[in-house]
Structure 1
């Protein structure tokens, strides 16, 4: 599946959670990279929501912390045909359904010189 979206600013909460040793080590183990402490937030069109809901509901890739934090579903994805990473679906989120949170080993805003409003493509 291929999804197009627009870069947007998030709430900054992903940095805190991805900075936790438990999440860093589990994503490294499961996805093959230690994620940069922050997510790249991408808003998508309503036309993709049914497929994204299906992916999320059928996703069996789950990281469950011991206590105090929520679980996270994830699915591996590629950004702009180049950056290997994952889309994360935290159990506890305040984002609307049309927000996708993408993680990778690098700060993608800096590496790819991305700004709010830039268009990107995800392959799931």
Structure 2
């Protein structure tokens, strides 16, 4: 189990990813070792949502603490290592506080994935969850 390639359809989010990734950027660099591109690639799983989420729970979860900003409260973010198209190292982010359900995934990398992969809204991406 979990050796499966999952497919998801790319879509535009609410344009909040840039703000939050930038806000968490220092903590992401400390935990993941790179400065993330300011934004997320959003995709909706096409099928096997339950299996995907079970596999995600079996992978290495990295906890990213929220930034310490006076008079604000942000939640932790959980990062999970993945491969896109079986080659590009990236991470799925699962914030404690989110507007999305479990069929939506938010992906970060140190590069702008849309440009690097030449994808747009409606493109299908292939994701492999890395299990140690």
Which TM-score bucket, shorter chain as reference?
Answer: 0.7 to 0.9
Q: Which runs of 5+ in 1 are unaligned?
A: none
TM norm structure 1: 0.85
Q: Which residue of 2 aligns with 1:99?
A: 104
Matches within 5 A, 1:75-114: 75-114=80-119
Instruction: Give the superposition deviation at 1:96.
Output: 2.5
TM norm structure 2: 0.81
- Contact preservation (8 Å) 1:59, 1:73: no
Q: Which residue of 2 aligns with 1:6?
A: 9
Count of residue correspondences: 122
Bigger-Rg structure (1/2): 2
Q: Which residue of 2 aligns with 1:16?
A: 19
- Contact preservation (8 Å) 1:9, 1:116: yes
Q: Which residue of 2 aligns with 1:116?
A: 121
Runs (4+) of structure 1 exceeding 4 A deviation are 56-60
Distance across 1 between alignment mates of 2:60 and 2:102: 16
Q: Which runs of 5+ in 2 are unaligned?
A: none
Distance across 2 between alignment mates of 1:59 and 1:71: 16
Q: How large is the Cα RMSD of the aligned pairs?
A: 2.1
